[in-house]
Chain A
């Protein structure tokens, strides 16, 4: 039986993980490299085993083995092949296996690197990775087993169990209930794997941090070793969040991209600490400061990753009582608590060894501003964390559930995001170590003037909303500073090296890709901020029921309801598709087809908007309702979303910048040699 094969592979992988962690600990204790090599081999062995389990599920999914409960719950006969494969992460049990699979892949990859210079880290990286893996495997084996099958007992009732109950026969439903229609979108197919990739790859920097704490090798070696891992983890997490936003915009039919839903926030929180970490490690690398803080950030990120998975997987969000009833919640909670306490006590043990090597010399130095940036990121984290947690606390203590919705988050985080934007404009101009208001002012006045010019231009276009004006000015300021930094750097090289400007720019970016990749990311953020200001402050909407041939108007736009077709498809949907003509300033500009898909199997409707996109705005039409006889009319909801495409463009730029920053060096070992204390030598000719 194929399901038994998969389950067996999981159990063996779990036992091997436990063995590997034990062997690594024993090897350290006895100072015996043979045990550590054995632990390393155990870690490498988990990957083929978990792969076997995952491939088994995929096999069961694509071959319609409906006797397996998970297969029944996420697939159906009418689903295409690729959706059956991706149904691996379409449900709870499968997505936990997927998590373990990625974890074992990453752990194996990190095991295969050259360890000569960091031999003492190896056993501890193995322990952390394998304990994390064993935890997730245990969830799959004991609580959310994807291989559980359906059985019909002698009395005729259907039960689910891993092993055949006495007197029962296998029960094979004729068809499954199918994947949630909302998840049948290309964005949703790659969005969860990307988030998971981001989640799982943050385990690796954490493993190195713990290794550094345990071994007492608390210099910045662990940071240099995991710099690229952190950036790649961050890249995946950012991509996952962006695609999630795009999916919401395309599929959820509410004209937005981010709803401050706890599930979204669950993925956003590790991103916040990760972003703070990426900034503050630079202070440790350059100045040997903030060693404690970096440890705290990486521990927080790891536990927020687990917490995020817990939030989305335990059912705690729908009710605290669901959490208490399912076994998975308390187990997760225990694991988070345990890892957090163990990590913190390790940190406290090394507290004195993590003393700063340098001192802060100016409140306006780049390191001080980076710390301010960290404070703001932590502030946003606190708002998010508290906002997600409070309804649970309220339900627990008063029995009354409350909703903490977008108004709370928007009001609380908007000033913090604004502060971050301002810092993005100021910090790149501040020097490490000492920077005074005078030197800062001197390098700032040109971009400042440029930003005022942009502000004047924005005023000329008729924008009067003070928050929007402030926001646009900040965007202009950050963009001007960032471009100015590129320009100044290229100019400096151009003069001192006699390189042509484009070459100077290319070499400049090439010599410190993290710095200039970071600046590109900042430009991406500016573009995204423009889009966000546009849609958040200037979105308008209207809704109305119009008979065929009639018009509905919103601002400069109007639509005419031309026709409506209602038909069944062969993949189990009933589709109502309207045809509307769009007019802008009275001119015909095109036709849109908003539709409503109704999935018979899951009895779920899905609203697909018709969208006309331009750099200026999106015109977004939803079919809300219709009369059986189309001449009686249909109800449309139309949104005007100014500047929203800048958000997506910014997303591209953002990812591009991350790729620039994370791109591998040609010779990683020489590039990673610590240079902090080397004396200054004139640059090579």
Chain B
């Protein structure tokens, strides 16, 4: 079972430590914003942060996560952008630090392929079964005159069908 142990606790500890180190300056409800490196807008930061997820706040994209820890991450993205890093470089950096889980969807490699393959395969199988079933049930329309078909009644075919359908609730 040793090999199955996730590196999560260690990562979390590292992460929290890093968060603590950065947040030493600010405390309490009102946090001061880190000074903005010139030339990097919040929108540029959010464009990158939108595609990332921190390991603590599950399923909340980084650009909208309200926790202090995520604010630190955004500050880090801003800093990297200020140093001229590209979007891909920043994403790679976070992946290297915290693992694939920071990405919005699993990168297509190894076991992860399953996530993209299974649904279409099952859907195709389902469609095939349905097609086969429909084919085997299908009869020529000539035998469609089952009992229950209106033989008298309103002359307008639509009205007749409607009457019949309303009757068979």
Residues on A lying within 8 angstroms of B by beta carbon are: 252-255, 259-262, 285-286, 317-319, 321, 356, 358-363, 368, 371-372, 375, 378-379, 382-383, 386-387, 390-391, 393-408, 412, 431-434, 436, 443, 488-489, 492-493, 495-496, 508, 511-512, 514-515, 541-545, 566, 574, 576, 596, 598, 600, 605-607, 625-628, 635, 637, 671, 675-680, 682-683
Closest to B56 in A: A318
What band does the interface of chain B fall in when counting residues whose beta carbon is under 8 Å from A? 35 or more
On whether A382 and B169 interact (CB within 8 A), knowing A318-B58, A363-B134, A400-B99, the answer reads no
B48 to chain A, nearest CB (A): 13
Q: Is B29 an interface residue (CB 8 A)?
A: yes
CA–CA, A58 and B158, complex, Å = 58
Do the beta carbons of B148 and A496 come within 8 Å of each other? Answer: no
Decide if A401 touches B101 in the complex (CB within 8 Å). yes
A386 to B121, CA, bound (A): 12
- 19 residue pairs bridging A and B, Cβ less than 8 Å apart: A261-B58, A262-B59, A319-B8, A361-B143, A390-B114, A393-B111, A405-B53, A492-B158, A495-B159, A508-B166, A512-B166, A514-B169, A541-B43, A598-B29, A627-B33, A678-B148, A680-B153, A682-B152, A683-B153
- Are B146's CB and A576's CB within 8 A? no
Assess the A403–B156 pair: CB atoms within 8 A: no
| Per-position 1/0 for B52-80, Cβ under 8 A of A | 01010011110010110001000000000
Question: Once bound together, how far apart are the Cα atoms of A495 and B160, in whole Å?
Answer: 12
Residue of B whose beta carbon sits closest to that of A512: B166
- Whether the pair B58, A317 counts as a contact (CB closer than 8 A) is yes
Is A683 in contact with B104, judged by CB distance below 8 angstroms?
A: no
Question: B111's contact among A397, A512, A576, by CB below 8 Å, is which?
Answer: A397
Q: Are B100 and A396 in contact (CB under 8 A)?
A: no
Choose among B32, B110, B148, B163 the residue with the greatest number of A CB atoms under 10 Å from its CB: B148
The answer to whether A675 and B58 have CB atoms under 8 Å apart is no
A407–B152 CB distance below 8 A: no
- Which B residues are closer than 8 A to A by beta carbons? 3-8, 29-33, 36, 41-43, 45-46, 53, 55, 58-61, 64, 66-67, 71, 99-106, 110-112, 114-115, 118-119, 122-123, 126-127, 130, 133-134, 137-139, 141, 143-144, 146-154, 156, 158-159, 161-169
* Cα A395 to Cα B130 with chains together (Å): 34
- For B152, give its contact among A321, A403, A511, A680 (CB under 8 Å): A680
Inter-subunit contact A512/B169 (CB<8 Å): yes
Query: Which single member of B8, B30, B41 contacts A576 (CB below 8 Å)?
Result: B30
Asked if A626 and B59 sit within 8 Å, CB to CB, the answer is no
Q: Which of B60, B106, B147, B163 contacts A683 (CB 8 A)?
A: B163
Q: Name B115's closest neighbour in chain A (CB-CB).
A: A390
A210 to B12, CA, bound (A): 47
* Shortest Cβ distance from residue A116 to the other chain B in the assembled complex, whole angstroms: 22
B168 to chain A, nearest CB (A): 6
**A679 proximity list for chain B (CB < 8 A):** 147-148
Contact A403 B154 (CB under 8 A): no
**Which chain A residue lies CB-closest to B140?**
A361
Residues of B within 8 A of A671 (CB): 169
Q: Smallest CB–CB gap between A597 and chain B, Å?
A: 9
* B154–A496 touching, CB < 8 Å: yes
Contact of A404 (CB < 8 Å), options: B31, B105, B126, B143: B105
Min C-beta distance of B141 to chain A, whole Å:
5
B residues less than 8 Å from A360 (CB atoms): 133-134, 137-139
* A253:B105 contact, CB within 8 angstroms: no
**Which residue on chain A has the smallest CB distance to residue B153?**
A682
Whether B30 lies near A378 (C-beta < 8 A) is no
Q: Which 7 A-B pairs have the closest CB atoms?
A: A360-B137, A598-B29, A254-B64, A543-B42, A405-B104, A492-B159, A402-B106
Alpha-carbon distance A362/B31, docked complex (angstroms): 67
Q: Judge whether A675 and B115 touch: CB under 8 Å.
A: no
B146 contact set on A, CB distance < 8 A: 358, 433
A361-B138, A362-B141, A375-B127 known; A566 vs B30 contact (CB < 8 Å): yes
B15 CB to nearest A CB, Å? 13
In the complex, the answer to whether A402 meets B101 with C-beta atoms within 8 Å is yes
Contact for A401 among B45, B99, B126, B159, CB less than 8 A: B99
A602 to nearest B CB, angstroms?
12
CB-contact partner of A259 in B29, B45, B59, B158, under 8 A: B59
| A512 neighbours in B (Cβ, 8 Å) | 165-166, 169
The residue in B67, B141, B150 that gathers the most chain A C-beta atoms within 10 A of its C-beta is B141
Nearest B-chain residue to A411, judged by Cβ: B105
**Minimal beta-carbon separation of A569 from chain B (angstroms):** 12
Known A-B contacts A319-B8, A492-B156, A682-B152; the reply to A407 vs B123 at CB < 8 A is: no
Please, how many angstroms separate the alpha-carbon atoms of A254 and B67 in the complex? Answer: 13
Which chain A residue lies CB-closest to B126? A375
- Which chain B positions have C-beta within 8 A of A379? 119, 122-123, 126
Cα separation A598 to B161 with both chains bound (whole Å)? 63
CB <8 Å contact, A488 and B137? no
CA distance A374 to B165 in the complex (A): 21
Residue of B nearest to A402 (CB): B106
Minimum distance in angstroms from A330 CB to a CB of chain B: 16
Q: Which residues of B contact A361 (CB under 8 A)?
A: 137-139, 141, 143-144
Contact B46 A543 (CB under 8 A): yes
Contact call B167/A675, Cβ cutoff below 8 A: yes
Nearest chain B CB to A385 CB, angstrom units? 9
- Give the distance to chain A from B125, nearest Cβ to Cβ, in Å: 10
Residues of B within 8 A of A362 (CB): 138, 141, 144
CB atoms of A368 and B134 under 8 A apart: yes
Residue ID in chain B nearest A542 by CB atoms? B43
Give the shortest distance, in Å, between B97 (CB) and chain A (any CB). 14
Q: Measured between alpha carbons, how far is A671 from B61 in the docked complex, in Å?
A: 52
> Which of A362, A627, A678 has the largest count of B CB atoms less than 10 A from its CB?
A362
Residues of B near A259 (CB, < 8 A) are 59-60
Is the pair B119, A386 in contact by a Cβ cutoff of 8 Å?
yes
B114: chain A residues within 8 A (beta carbon): 390, 393
Bound together, the chains give a CA A368 to CA B137 distance in angstroms of 10
Known: A358-B146, A361-B139. 13 other contacts (CB 8 A): A319-B8, A360-B134, A399-B3, A403-B100, A495-B159, A514-B169, A541-B46, A625-B33, A637-B46, A675-B167, A680-B149, A682-B153, A683-B153
